[in-house]
Structure 1
Amino acid sequence: MTNRTPEKRSLDGERAPTMPNLSRMAPVNRVFAAQLAGLPVFGPDGESIGKVRDVVAGLRLDQQPPRVLGLVVELSTRRRVFVPMLRITSIEPNAVTLATGSVNMRQFHRRPNEVLVLGQVTDAHARLAATGTRVTVLDAAMEPTRTRDWVLAKVAVRERGARLGIGKRRSSLRVLPWPDVSGLSLTDLSGQPQGAGQLLMLFDTMRAVDIAATMRDLPAKRRYEIADSMDDERLADVLEELPYEDQKELLAHLPEERAADILEAMNPDDATDLLAELAPAEQSRLLDLMPPEESEPLKRLLTYSSDTAGGLMTSDPVVLTPDATIAEALARIRNADLSAALATMIFVCRPPTETPTGRYVGCVHFQRLLREPPAELVAGAVDTDLPALDPTAPLAEVTRYFAAYNLACGPVVDAEDHLVGAVTVDDVLDHLLPEDWRETGLRDVTETQEVKNA
């Protein structure tokens, strides 16, 4: 099937640049939001999903470029849904392709810390930060960062009152870095009160575990303000570092639909641990709000006792088939979203590669990957001698296993020889430490460091 679309032009009348393929990003790419409007959206097998209607960004309280969270896609039924950027495989001049044909069918609702680029940023009145000149925003361009996120890096503006007569078009239109245009902050466009603004700006430079320690010392009202203003992925990271009681308190504050989204964004093992702390009725409601492909792994993990390998494991390790290459394996563990412990090992299985997988073949240690030619198959580097953990193995056995084999990550294989997950050493440590270690541990570390520096 050939898609024919009119040639697109940029705002100044020049031919619009080709939009990038997200899986093969060049060092610098730029996509204007207006170019995305109306583009058809397809699944990985070419099935039609809908059309792009807007771009969703998470605005900040300062003037720094906001992160692009995803797209608003209108389905054939006229329902508008949200598709996260991580689900998008490529953006081409005539189509957007998703990594999966399954999308969350919940009606899209904008949250307080979010803004619609076409619906709210376009046509907004602003000023040039340097001169105070009044301008109208015509478009905004998103660009990828080194961390694989996308941000609204550029703004196309025209001086207010400038006419489009001969000789005026090019001179009045300017494409500027986002910080050079004032009046586009969270407060200006979304009406969000400043509240925790200074803390949010500080948190941008902090690790999730340090943010969690800081939030525990804040009043509940301020914690809620911060949670409301964080994007889902960031809040999920912070939630994983909080004690269970604080996790439950914050989750109870959130609307149920957003609480389900946060659980989806958490690591499966951490999400399962939190769900296990909730009342059965609340647990069921949250699971029902998730797409089946997100909820089913969590339901499986909930069937295991928390002090067994099955209860400790994540259902989302790195899995490849035997015919994958060393280069593919290295690309997978290079993923910035992968934890350091999970990135130490590739698991090789027969299809399917989603847990529970086909027959488990063995594992490949990342150091072995570094020693092999990139074009070789992972099948030739598989370690078949490393024993696997049984899902019912108790915590003491899991601890001895990690100590005996000096591992950061280990496979969990069921009686039918299917890989069902992987345990990482950080999850073992979490369960070996006292229950209140999150409340006292960071303070103890800080105090010890202060003594050393005295």
Structure 2
Amino acid sequence: MNSPKIFVARLLGLDVFDPLGDRLGRLRDVVVLDRGRTGRSAATGLVIEVPGKKRVFVPMTRVTSMDSGQIITTGLINLRRFSRRGAEQTVAGDLFDRRVHLTDGSGEAVVEDLGLERQRNGDWLVSDLYVRRDTGRTAFGRSKGEHLLVAWDEALWGTASAPQAATSFVAAHEDLKAADLADMLHEMTEKRRVEVANELQDERLADVLQELPDDDQVQILSHLDVERAADVLEEMDPDDAADLLHELPDSQQELLLELMEPEDAEDVRRLLEYEEDTVGSVMTPVPVVLPPEATVAEAMATIRQQEISPALASLVIVARPPLETPTGRYLGVVHFQRLLRYPPPEAIGNIMDKDLEPVSDLDSVVHVTRELATYNLTSIPVVNAQHRVVGAVSVDDVLDHILPEDWRAMDPDETPEPDGATPARP
């Protein structure tokens, strides 16, 4: 007798343990091998995210127990990064949201989940598809439909090149950090990456783009409607938007800048004027700047805003008005910890650090990196030749420029494989 069915959507995100109860990682996907119309697709392994945010492959032969509460393996894991081979497909990445034709003649449906069933010989085979079939429109114009559980042989898959929605995938990963979602997009096929990008909200897509390699950024932006591409650029940090525009032809740069809101476009244009690898080309042009008369309470309220990154919130730049960059004359900074030590009514001009020297917008990235390291800073003010504040550079602004170009695709520090581990594919 076969074991009860397990549905993949209920497994995603579950912790994976070894036989002693130690946590190995978290399940991110299931790999299946397409056998065509000759037989049921078989689950060949799991994609597990181990510490270090690396996704590795665990063969199903190493899975000793799997249910809706937890997954237990033999504990032997090959730490080589997962990459699909041959006819392998990932369930969440490739099959969810795919359209299928129902063999009873009732039309098409969209796959929302996939059931697996363990056989007597230990193989895990696809048993059922949980699908949604549209049945028309409501009075308000919204689509309505019904959910069905159909056997694997009661549905025919459309071609892999057919458009695939990404609604279920995005919903299942809405709580994932932007950097982790970017890792998943980077591992997808170009077609699937674009489908998921089209489903993301502008702000979410902007956050994810900032975490992707340049080639992936350009590929996604090039597939967006030009007006939406401009909207997404507006949501990005100006320095990241400028870096992305640098990768595009001049004509495309100008078109997108014209479609952006003038204020957002102006910040990006200023950064594009700087030569590559200068401080001005990587700085954030909208740092936290307050006049010396501002109080500690006002400073704390300003850096508490959600859109301000922790690095930029670590210090408040004090300058003469105007406070928009380029500001009036630079006066000094107030470190966050210093704000915590003084009463709310105290003017920040009385407690500012006048000794912290800002860097020039024409300095090299190497120079500002050394300054940040020398003085243990997470951000530092940037001024122009007239000693007016034009921005700030934070640690995250320079990291991308000092790490290897392909650092996102590189594995974390290699961890020796446990004795007896075998290759990730049978």
Query: Counterpart in 2 of 1:229?
Result: 199
Instruction: Name the structure where strand makes up a greater proportion of residues.
Output: 2
Query: Counterpart in 1 of 2:400?
Result: 430
Aligned runs of 1:297-336 on 2, under 5 Å? 297-336=267-306
Aligned runs of 1:34-113 on 2, under 5 Å? none
* Distance apart, 1:319 and its partner CA: 1.1
Secondary structure, aligned partner of 1:262: helix
1:228 to 1:188, Cα distance in 2 relative to 1, 3 A = farther
* Distance apart, 1:262 and its partner CA: 0.8
Larger Rg, first or second structure (1 or 2): 2
Aligned runs of 1:254-265 on 2, under 5 Å? 254-265=224-235
* Distance apart, 1:280 and its partner CA: 0.5
Residue 214 of structure 2 is aligned to residue 249 of structure 1: no
Query: Counterpart in 1 of 2:324?
Result: 354
Secondary structure, aligned partner of 2:387: coil
Q: Deviations over 1:15-66 (max 9, x none)?
A: xxxxxxxxxxxxxxxxxxxxxxxxxxxxxxxxxxxxxxxxxxxxxxxxxxxx
Aligned runs of 1:279-290 on 2, under 5 Å? 279-290=249-260
Query: Counterpart in 2 of 1:367?
Result: 337
Give the distance between the partners of 1:276 and 1:219, measured in 2 at CA: 24
| TM-score, normalised relative to structure 1 | 0.55
Query: Counterpart in 2 of 1:444?
Result: 412
Residue 307 of structure 2 is aligned to residue 341 of structure 1: no
Query: Counterpart in 1 of 2:383?
Result: 413
Q: Deviations over 1:113-150 (max 9, x none)?
A: xxxxxxxxxxxxxxxxxxxxxxxxxxxxxxxxxxxxxx
Checking the alignment, whether the CA contact within 8 Å between 1:323 and 1:379 is kept in structure 2 is yes
The letter for the 1-side match of 2:364 is P
Please point out which of 180, 188, 213 is paired with 1:210: 180
User: Which residues of structure 2 form unaligned runs of 5+?
Assistant: 1-137, 146-162, 422-426
Give the distance between the partners of 1:405 and 1:185, measured in 2 at CA: 60
* Distance apart, 1:444 and its partner CA: 2.2
* Distance apart, 1:311 and its partner CA: 1.1
Quote the RMSD (CA, aligned, Å).
2.5
Residue 358 of structure 2 is aligned to residue 388 of structure 1: yes
1:362 to 1:264, Cα distance in 2 relative to 1, 3 A = same
Aligned runs of 1:190-205 on 2, under 5 Å? 195-205=165-175
1:373 to 1:261, Cα distance in 2 relative to 1, 3 A = same
Higher relative contact order structure (alpha carbons within 8 Å, sequence separation ≥ 6): 2
The letter for the 2-side match of 1:407 is L
1:186 to 1:240, Cα distance in 2 relative to 1, 3 A = farther
Give the distance between the partners of 1:255 and 1:418, measured in 2 at CA: 38
Checking the alignment, whether the CA contact within 8 Å between 1:273 and 1:306 is kept in structure 2 is no
The letter for the 2-side match of 1:315 is P
1:448 to 1:272, Cα distance in 2 relative to 1, 3 A = farther
Give the distance between the partners of 1:335 and 1:320, measured in 2 at CA: 14
Checking the alignment, whether the CA contact within 8 Å between 1:356 and 1:418 is kept in structure 2 is yes
Query: Counterpart in 2 of 1:36?
Result: none
Q: Write out the 4+ residue segments of structure 1 that deviate beyond 3 Å after TM superposition.
A: 182-189, 447-451
Aligned length: 265
Q: Deviations over 1:247-303 (max 9, x none)?
A: 001100111111111111101111111111111000010111112211111111111
1:285 to 1:384, Cα distance in 2 relative to 1, 3 A = same
The letter for the 1-side match of 2:304 is R
Q: Deviations over 1:401-450 (max 9, x none)?
A: 1111110000001111110000001121211110000122xx426x6499
The letter for the 2-side match of 1:433 is L
Query: Counterpart in 1 of 2:246?
Result: 276
Checking the alignment, whether the CA contact within 8 Å between 2:234 and 2:261 is kept in structure 1 is no
User: Which residues of structure 1 form unaligned runs of 5+?
Assistant: 1-181
1:424 to 1:184, Cα distance in 2 relative to 1, 3 A = farther
Aligned runs of 1:72-221 on 2, under 5 Å? 188=144, 195-221=165-191
* Distance apart, 1:197 and its partner CA: 2.6
Checking the alignment, whether the CA contact within 8 Å between 1:187 and 1:194 is kept in structure 2 is no
Give the distance between the partners of 1:186 and 1:439, measured in 2 at CA: 41
Query: Counterpart in 2 of 1:69?
Result: none
Give the distance between the partners of 1:313 and 1:279, measured in 2 at CA: 22
1:186 to 1:408, Cα distance in 2 relative to 1, 3 A = farther
1:194 to 1:449, Cα distance in 2 relative to 1, 3 A = farther
Query: Counterpart in 1 of 2:348?
Result: 378
Checking the alignment, whether the CA contact within 8 Å between 1:268 and 1:315 is kept in structure 2 is yes
Give the distance between the partners of 2:289 and 2:255, measured in 1 at CA: 30
| TM-score, normalised relative to structure 2 | 0.59
Query: Counterpart in 1 of 2:95?
Result: none
Checking the alignment, whether the CA contact within 8 Å between 1:349 and 1:360 is kept in structure 2 is yes
1:449 to 1:320, Cα distance in 2 relative to 1, 3 A = farther
The letter for the 1-side match of 2:321 is P
* Distance apart, 1:186 and its partner CA: 8.4
**Identity across the alignment (%):** 51
The letter for the 2-side match of 1:432 is I
The letter for the 1-side match of 2:347 is L
Give the distance between the partners of 2:241 and 2:339, measured in 1 at CA: 31
Query: Counterpart in 2 of 1:164?
Result: none
Checking the alignment, whether the CA contact within 8 Å between 1:409 and 1:422 is kept in structure 2 is yes
- Larger deviation, residues 234-243 vs 300-309: 300-309
Give the distance between the partners of 2:257 and 2:417, measured in 1 at CA: 44
